[in-house]
Structure formats: C-alpha cells, structure tokens
Amino acid sequence: MATGFTLVLGFLGAASAFFAILLRLTQHPKEPQVIAKTIPFISPLFGFVHGMQNFLVSLRDRYNLPIYTMRMPGQRVYVVNSLSLIPQVQKQIKTIAFAPIEVQAADAVMGVGPAGNAVIGSERMFEHDSYLSTFVPSTQPALSPGPGLDSLNGAAIRQIYNAMKTVAESGPTTIELFAWVRHEFFMATTEAIYGPKNPFRDPKLEQAWYDFEPSIIVHMLKAWPSLLARKGLHAREQLLIPAFERYFAENGHLQGSVLVQCRYKHNTGHGLRGRDLAATEVGQMVASLANSIPAVFWLVYHIFSDPAVLSGCREEAEQLVQADGDVDLAKVKTACPVLLSTWQETLRYIHIGIAARVVMEDVILDNQYLLKKGATVMYVAPVQHTDPSLWAPTVGIFNHRRFLRTPGAKRAHNPAAFRAFGGGSVLCPGRHFVTTEAMSFATLMLLRFDVKPAARGGKWVNPRKSVPMTTLVPTPKDAVQVRITPKENQEYHARFSASKKGFDLVAEDITAGNSAV
C-alpha cells in the first residue's frame, strides 16, 4: 500500500509535469526566454515572496539575459535587464502603458469614487487631452525650474530652518534619527505644498498618514483592506480625505503653493469634485513623501556615519556661509557637487524601485521579442544599479564621490543607468524639488549640529533595512539613537534666492541641457 508520503510525491510529480506541458503549449517561441521554471508557474512566486528585488538581481547574474519571461498563475511577467531596451519600453507609452496602473491606484489606493474613476480611467486615457496625459504637464509651472519651484523650495527651507533652530536652542539632546527626520521632512514638505491651512498641522492627521502608508500595497492589490488594513482604511476614509475636503472647501489652496493650485485647476478642469477631488491628494502625498522621507534619512545617515563623507560635505556647506551669517541655499545647486554626488549615490545604493507597465496589445520589442497583450513588463532599479558593467567593479561599495565629474572629462557612467527618478513619460516631475529640499536639509544639519551615536562607544552601526512593497526606498528596521549637539557660536540665517536652473540628475536633464552642474 502506498504511503501518504509516496502519494504526495506522486501528486507533485504529476502536477509539475502538467505545468511543464502547459508552459510549453502556451509560450510563443518569439517571446523572451522563460526562466525560473524549476516548478513551472510556482517557482517565481517563491522568489517574489522571499524578496523580489534580490531575486531578480540573482536571476540577472545567473542567466545574463537582456530580457526574460517569468510565468506565474494567470500572469506573464517580462523583466527587462538590458539598459538599451529600457528606452524602447518607455517610448511605447500606449502599447506598454503605465496608465492602467495609475487608474488602479486612483480607485484602490486613493479611494476615488465611481464618478472620479470615470474621469481618470476613461476610454480616452491615452488621448493627448485626457486627465492622465495632461496631469504632469499641468504641474510644470510649480515643479520645473523657475519662480514656482523657487517658492516651493523657499517655503520648505523656512520650515526646516525654524525647526532646526528650535532644536539647537534646546541644547544637546538624544533622538531616534529616523523618527526625527521623518517628522521634520514631513512637515517641511506639507507646509510648502499646502500653505497656512496645511491640514497636517494637526498631529492627528500626521499620525493618520503614518497609519495609512503601510497599508498601500493591501489597497493596491484589493486584498480585503476592510479586514487586513482596517487601521489604514480608517485613516484614509475618516481622517485624510475629510481633511482635504475641508481644505478645498475653505479655499485653503488659494493660500497654498503653485503646485497645489495647479493640481486643483487640473482636477476641477476635468470634472473632479468634492470627495473625489480630495481623494486625489492622498495619491499626491504618496508621490511627495513615501520615498523622499527614507531617502533623506539614508542621506543624513551616510553623511554623519562616515568621516570622509562628513568632511567633504561639511566643507561645502561652510563655504555657503557669508560674513554676516547669511546662507543662500539656492547655491546648493551650483556650489555643492560633493553633496549632490552623495545624494545621488545614496539613491543608487539603496533604491529598490520596480517600474511596471501593462502590455495593451501584442507588440514586438527591439524587432525580436514578442510581448503579449495583458502581460506585465518590469525593469528593476537594483538590477541596473548593481551592474558592474555600468558602474565599475566598485558597484557594491558606497562611494560618495561616484557622480563627480571633472570639467571637460567624460562621465564615468551612462546617465541612463541611474534609475532613481524613473524615466521617459513617468520621469519624476518632483525630482528638482526633493533634491533641493534634501540637500538643504543636510546642509542645515551640517552647519548647526554634530551628530554622534548615543550608544556606548559612540560607534555607528549600519541598521538593517526593512523592504516594504509600498515604497521604492527601504526604511531602517533598527532604531538609530543619536546624540545631536548644537555647534557653538554658529548662528545662520537661511534663505532661498531666485534660481532658473535645475539639477543634472538624469539622462533627460542632461539631454535638455538645463542643469546647473
């Protein structure tokens, strides 16, 4: 008589054989090569569950393919490794599209209702005048280099300056670094965007955001959020959206930034009203804060935990101080190349972003790869950011000077290899805002404080990383307790002058030729 164990083995063998036949029958020969098929359809699931980014990097190293297919139950995933193929994917904005993912996010994550979703996800979403096609262009007066962006950065810097002044006046203190950076950067960003009627001046609403953010993936997957994300759902429905409804009803946006005014004009111009209008701001909070906060934490951590980085960045910061104590933080764009390189290297080193698209119809990529309708196309920042052929053999080492460029010399890396801000039609429109904000935050810390580990021995310990599926940047899993000590006889007044230049951050900025450095 066959034992239970034998029956299980027989069942698994039969299932594996069945899946192998099914895979062979349903995979077109022109599709990219199928890998991760030890147990067809099942092996990729195990890899994703145990760490999607590391899994995809390991597949790159094992197979060295420019693009490949992973088959999972009910889904094809094409993973693009080759840097030369990424621009080709980005150009196919209608056939390999990001728009369906935006539509799903509006419904599932933001909580936009049926009327609003009919506007955002209309059948015309790919037309040049649709809600989605016109959204990013509508924000250019606020986020492209110029007066709108200067005003936004200036407001954020005033908030950061005042917050750090308050801390400095209280004398030496011990803080948990991530919690402190999170609060100060959160308030600086929301104050800059929403102005005097910023809803997040109410601490309950700031906490509501922290309650909602971890539940984003549950909402996006529609994985029973009423059961599995009750706290996040309550924060969104009972606190965040009603607060934004009041904000717009009281015309708070008229005292806010050009950015929130541009969004309001765009949304109402396309017919969004009331609760749906307010719900879209939840999505904008994700865009403004979810990745920037942990990124700024890691920037601060890498600066103060490494004496060489600290010395190079502090020297630049001190050169910004005028004889009268005036510090014009607009000059971080031109006078702080080491700090800018440190910011970029921080993003390269810790970024875990996955860019996803949906194949809307069968399409041939690069004249050779068949991508089938309904499939998902991915390219993964850690794959590009850890490729020795793109970054040299030192790719695994944090090098704060990696992005420095000697005048007249060729760049040490292909600018397109830096994927922290995306690219193509979904290039992050807020990259100049967050870069100025992050560098200003770091500069004011460098000028005002000495930061040392609070633990006995005073040694920095590299915190473990938590890799949430809701962000493109990991958060620290371990508390980082530090002693923050005001520097003696250091009084500065920070301001932000007019600046028409942006940063030399991504390939698109370099092509446009409008960068400052």
The DSSP secondary-structure symbol of 502 reads B
C-beta atoms surrounding 35 within 10 Å: 17
Write out the two tokens for 262.
Answer: 């541009």
Inform me whether the pLDDT recorded for 7 exceeds 60.
no
- Percent with pLDDT over 90 in the chain: 72
Q: Which of 125, 95, 167 is nearest to 363 (CA)?
A: 95
pLDDT 10s digits, 155-206: 999 999 999 999 999 999 999 999 999 999 999 999 999 999 999 999 999 9
pLDDT at 438: 98
**Length, in residues, of the chain:** 517
Alpha carbons within 13 A on the beta-carbon side of 236: 28
Region 315-332 average pLDDT: 93
Question: Which segment of 231-240, 403-412, 442-451, 490-499 scores lowest on mean pLDDT?
Answer: 403-412
Token pair recorded at residue 405: 């460029």
Mind listing the pLDDT tens digit for each residue in 414-464? 888 999 999 888 899 999 999 999 999 999 999 999 999 998 778 999 999
Give the N- to C-terminal CA distance of the chain in Å, as an integer: 77
Burial class (CB in 10 A: 0-12, 13-18, 19+), 306: middle
| pLDDT at residue 154 greater than cutoff 70 | yes
Half-sphere exposure of 406 (CA within 13 A, CB side): 3
Q: Considering only CA atoms, which of 123, 250, 147, 269 is closest in space to residue 199? A: 250
What pLDDT is stored for residue 517 in this prediction?
A: 36
**Residue in 378, 189, 387 with CA at minimum distance from that of residue 290:** 189
Residues 6+ apart with CB under 8 A from 400: 302, 306, 308, 309, 312, 313, 338, 341, 342, 345
Question: Is residue 255 a contact partner of residue 196, using CB atoms and an 8 Å limit?
Answer: yes
The CATH number of the domain covering residues in 114-353+386-512: 1.10.630.10
The single residue listed with the structure tokens 């308030």 is: 187
Q: What is the DSSP secondary structure assignment for residue 484, as one 8-state letter? A: E
Looking at residue 69, what is its pLDDT? 93
Cα gap 297→56, rounded to integer Å: 26
pLDDT per residue over 373-400, tens digit each?
999 999 999 999 999 999 999 999 999 9
Listed by start position, the domains of the chain span 114-353+386-512
CA distances from 25 to 19, 329, 347, 436 (A): 10, 61, 42, 53
Beta bridge partners of 484: 173, 451
β-sheet bridge partners, residue 71: 76
Between CA 441 and CA 185 the distance in angstroms is: 8
Using only the alpha carbons of the chain, give its radius of gyration. 24
Three-state secondary structure readout of 202-251: CHHHHHHHHHHHHHHHHHHCCCCHHHHCHHHHHHHHHHHHHHHHHHHHCC
Closest of 171, 174, 167 to residue 481, by C-alpha: 174
CA separation for the pair 260, 281 (Å, rounded): 9
Ramachandran quadrant class, 325 (left: phi over 0; alpha: psi -120 to 50; beta: rest)? left
For residue 422, give every residue at least 6 positions away whose Cβ sits within 8 Å of its Cβ, in sequence order, or none: 353, 355, 428
Q: 68 by DSSP, 3-state: which?
A: strand
Strands (E), 431-509: 449-453, 465-466, 475-476, 481-486, 493-495
Banded pLDDT at 58 (limits 50, 70, 90) = very high
CB-based contact 480:176 (threshold 8 Å):
yes
Is the entire prediction scored with pTM above 0.75? Answer: yes
Token pair 């309001």: residue: 264
User: Cα 132 to the chain's mean position, in Å?
Assistant: 19
Measured distance CA(383)–CA(271) in Å, rounded? 41
pLDDT mean over 118-122: 91
Any alpha helices (H) in 306-430, and if so which ranges?
307-319, 332-335, 337-350, 381-385, 388-391
Non-local (6+) Cβ contacts of 37 within 8 A are 20, 23, 43, 71
Q: What is the DSSP letter of 287?
A: I
What are the phi and psi torsion angles at 363 (to 5°)? -145, 145
- Distance between CA atoms of 218 and 105, rounded to whole angstroms? 11
Separation between Cα atoms, residue 406 and residue 265, nearest integer Å: 44
Is residue 345 within 8 A of residue 402, CB to CB? The reply is yes
pLDDT digits (tens, 9 = 90+) for 267-313: 999 999 999 999 999 999 999 999 999 999 999 999 999 999 999 99
